[in-house]
Amino acid sequence: MERLACKSAAEVSCIISNLIAELEQPCDHCRQEGVVLTGHGPTGEPVTVRLLPDNVLEVEGGTDLLEEIRERRCPHE
């Protein structure tokens, strides 16, 4: 699991939308506090993202893709 401190809600949105290509029902995680998104990344790897306070994300899975996303430059900045 990796924790990311994002600069803004826009960065949170960008990372999540690039990490999860297909959402699944979060039934296994619904008892956890906060927002939990589960699904599969573009490569088919399972990914779980937890949204924590202050634009912090906890990410399980998609580690290689996460590195690639963080290295990209946002075209809107």
Residue reference for tokens 């599969």: 40
pLDDT band at 40 (very low <50, low <70, confident <90, very high): very high
Query: What's the start-to-end Cα distance of the chain, in Å?
Result: 28
Largest CA distance in the chain: 37
pLDDT band at 58 (very low <50, low <70, confident <90, very high): very high
The verdict on residue 63 lying in a domain is yes
pLDDT band at 72 (very low <50, low <70, confident <90, very high): confident
The verdict on residue 59 lying in a domain is yes
Backbone angles phi, psi at 46, to 5 degrees: -65, 140
Task: Note down the domain range covering 55.
Answer: 2-71
The verdict on residue 76 lying in a domain is no
Q: Number of structural domains, the chain?
A: 1
Q: Which residue has the higher pLDDT, 73 or 39?
A: 39
Q: Which residue has the higher pLDDT, 75 or 53?
A: 53
